Structure 1
Amino acid sequence: MFKYILITGLLSVCNLQTQAGTFALITNQGSDNVSIIDLDQNRVIATVPAGHRPAGIAVSNIDHRAYVTNPESKDVSVIDIQNRNLIKNIPAGDGPVGIALHPDGSEVYIADWYKHEVFILDSRTLAITSSIPVGHSPSGIAVSPDGLSMYISNRDDNNVMHINIPERKIVATIMVGKAPFGITISDSGDQVYVANVQSSDVSIIDSRTDTVIATVAVGLFPYAIAHDQRGNRLFVTNQRDNDVSVVDLASFREIKRIAVGEYPEGIDIHPSEEFVYVASWFDDKVSVIDLKTLEVINEIETGKGSRAYGKFIYSVED
């Protein structure tokens, strides 16, 4: 039996600047804020306001900020994680959704659902410096570990675009399943994984050739993906089945389903690769899965309508 942990307060007096550990930042679309969870204690330790209907998130261990997309207020919230406050909201097109960071923290990439562009935000000046036209309804962004390539899932075009970041141009368009959404890349950078919502499968792309090398059936309406490098597995949230598919990358097949909360969306893996965290939109909570047993061992109550679409785990070293 796992514990069910409630929020004990909105703000604590300790500062993350003096508190080493690992934290999850969860966007709460129904309460217009972000919950900060201490993953050593498995409890919410702070809540920070964001824009209207926050969805996507990318956290930086370099500048200690969280960048949050707010589709309905058409902006990106910049949050100081250490001091737990909102720095500013930056206008960003007509419907920012997916968001990702350059590995060196210098740039933030924002997918605009309605304008069919990716905006590039300078993290130093907090100004949008340029944009790249992409496909229809861009939803997910994955950046290669070397910072040279970006992969964009275009939901309404059923494809993934490979963008050369230094040159700001599209170098390949890869057809995948129906309505691709969540996307991630392996730590080595040699494979890209995309969840196809309406075909209920995952496309696996060889980034060296920009070709699909496998398609794996998963649950109903897969939304987001996390890559377990150590276990050579994928963890995929299935919105309509209220579970997570575990995909073995050696055999390219689904090996297990793990029941979680209702309408799971965002998913991320602890840096220790011991736990995976799943935000459930309709249950207002985060489920904690043990990567050894593949069982839910904890649940953490968050704000209303938790989505956390993107890389939401942040680590502070001693």
Structure 2
Amino acid sequence: MTHTRISRGRTFTGAAALALCSLLPAAHAQKSYAVETKWTIGGEGGWDYLTMDAPAHRLYVTHGPKVEVLDTTTGKVVGQLTGYKSTHGVALDPDGRFGYVSDGAGNAVYVFDRATLANVATIPAGTNPDGILFEPKTKTVWAFNGRSKNVTVIDTKTRTVVATIALPGKPEFPQADGTGMIYDNIEDKNEIVRLDANTLKLTGEWPLTGCESPSGMAIDITGHKLYSVCDGKKMAVTDYAAGKLLGLAEVGDGPDAAGFDAKTGLAFSSNGEGTLTVVNTKAKNFPAVETVKTVLGARTMAFDESTGRIYLAAAIMGPKPAPSAANPRGRAAALPGSFMVVVVGKQ
């Protein structure tokens, strides 16, 4: 919240007082973001993508070998998707009937019924399917395979693989623009690729100069922009109609996911350092207008377009161990039972 401070003992002229009064409504009308609550889920295992189903008020949270399903009106777990080895992402059809889970260790995509949360089909994918999306024009599901560096395209009517498209490097988060075009970050090449769902071909590659290891991506369909978060505390802004990098915004350290609010023109970066960066995409040079303290390690997120809320996955981390043969980077482990969803909203 922006506050206007008035020094004691200073006399204002009538014009100055009027000018100050004209500023106060705008200052007090401005809303900032803050953590509203934390929903404890518990259990053990790592996590990856979160997927929001706004019409159904459901949040899908990948969590180790299962997917937690939360009711966003109550914060309660209403079910689980199970039977997997290592979950990464969830894609949803626009009809509210079926969902698709990428099982990285299982090298497969599972189809589930959203009413019963039962698995109804298993479709083989490439090696370590990670990012996944539903392309609405062609009614296909695209599973981006991290280790085999390709994408598996699935016809949702027949539930069969119709294409496997080679990629120039390791894919990360994908987005679709609704016209049949799909965009994906290539992490080890520092670039974006464009794929045509109509022809099942790769049709463009654009460098992200100044963006190291792009991971999470958000899309502004009306403005034809992509927001890719990168190592080095950057968010790359790309005009996907022109295939041109427009600039780099400053964000927090260790970002892994991004979001975009079409109503406000704000983009979000969830950062492993325990912050959420809010970026004004309508302003010159894309300034960061707010940094919200969240929870250490809360680097993946989903944006709820119906409420403007942001949901982040996190856990309370134990002490950082010394590097060892089993844990060469000395990564801290999450404390058992501490897994949670952090809810951020406007105040």
**C-alpha distance in structure 2 between counterparts of 1:147 and 1:70, whole Å:** 29
Give the superposition deviation at 1:205: 1.1
Amino acid at match of 2:68: S
Aligned match of 2:331 = none
Aligned match of 1:150 = 141
Aligned match of 1:222 = 214
Say if 2:48 is the partner of 1:55.
yes
Aligned match of 1:198 = 188
Distance 1:177 1:103, change over 3 A: same
Q: Which fold has the larger relative contact order, with Cα–Cα distance below 8 Å and residues 6 or more apart in sequence? A: 1
Give the superposition deviation at 1:313: 2.2
Equivalent residues in 2 for 1:157-236, closer than 5 Å = 157-186=148-177, 188-218=178-208, 219-236=211-228
**C-alpha distance in structure 2 between counterparts of 1:59 and 1:228, whole Å:** 17
Is this contact kept in 1: 2:190–2:212, CA < 8 A? yes
Aligned match of 1:135 = 126
Equivalent in 258, 265, 272 of residue 263 of structure 2: 272
Distance 1:147 1:214, change over 3 A: closer
Amino acid at match of 1:193: Y
Gaps in structure 2 of 5+ consecutive residues: 4-29, 309-347
Distance 1:111 1:315, change over 3 A: same
Is this contact kept in 2: 1:103–1:147, CA < 8 A? no
**C-alpha distance in structure 1 between counterparts of 2:153 and 2:169, whole Å:** 18
Tell me the C-alpha RMSD between the 2 structures.
2.2
**C-alpha distance in structure 1 between counterparts of 2:307 and 2:289, whole Å:** 24
Equivalent residues in 2 for 1:105-116, closer than 5 Å = 105-116=96-107
**C-alpha distance in structure 1 between counterparts of 2:264 and 2:170, whole Å:** 29
Give the superposition deviation at 1:303: 2.3
Q: Could you say which structure has the larger radius of gyration? A: 2
Write out the 4+ residue segments of structure 1 that deviate beyond 3 Å after TM superposition: none
Aligned match of 1:307 = 299
Give the superposition deviation at 1:65: 0.8
TM-score by length of 1: 0.81
**C-alpha distance in structure 1 between counterparts of 2:218 and 2:83, whole Å:** 26
**C-alpha distance in structure 2 between counterparts of 1:92 and 1:58, whole Å:** 19
Distance 1:147 1:284, change over 3 A: farther
**C-alpha distance in structure 1 between counterparts of 2:176 and 2:91, whole Å:** 12
Give the superposition deviation at 1:175: 1.5
Give the superposition deviation at 1:162: 1.6
The CA deviation string for residues 235-284 of structure 1, in whole angstroms up to 9 with x for no partner, is: 1111x222111111232121211110111111111131511111112x11
TM-score by length of 2: 0.74
Amino acid at match of 1:58: T
Is this contact kept in 2: 1:56–1:307, CA < 8 A? no
Equivalent residues in 2 for 1:21-36, closer than 5 Å = none
Gaps in structure 1 of 5+ consecutive residues: 4-38
Is this contact kept in 1: 2:105–2:128, CA < 8 A? yes
Q: Secondary structure at the match of 1:170?
A: strand
Is this contact kept in 2: 1:69–1:98, CA < 8 A? yes
Is this contact kept in 1: 2:79–2:117, CA < 8 A? no
The CA deviation string for residues 164-215 of structure 1, in whole angstroms up to 9 with x for no partner, is: 11111111222222111211111x2321011111111111112221222211
Equivalent in 250, 255, 274 of residue 284 of structure 1: 274
Is this contact kept in 2: 1:99–1:110, CA < 8 A? yes
Equivalent in 90, 93, 108 of residue 99 of structure 1: 90
Give the superposition deviation at 1:151: 1.0
**C-alpha distance in structure 2 between counterparts of 1:284 and 1:224, whole Å:** 16
Q: Secondary structure at the match of 2:258?
A: strand
Q: Secondary structure at the match of 1:202?
A: strand
**C-alpha distance in structure 1 between counterparts of 2:57 and 2:170, whole Å:** 33
Q: Secondary structure at the match of 2:95?
A: coil
Q: Taking every aligned residue pair, what percent have the same amino acid on both sides?
A: 22
The count of residues paired between Structure 1 and Structure 2 equals 276
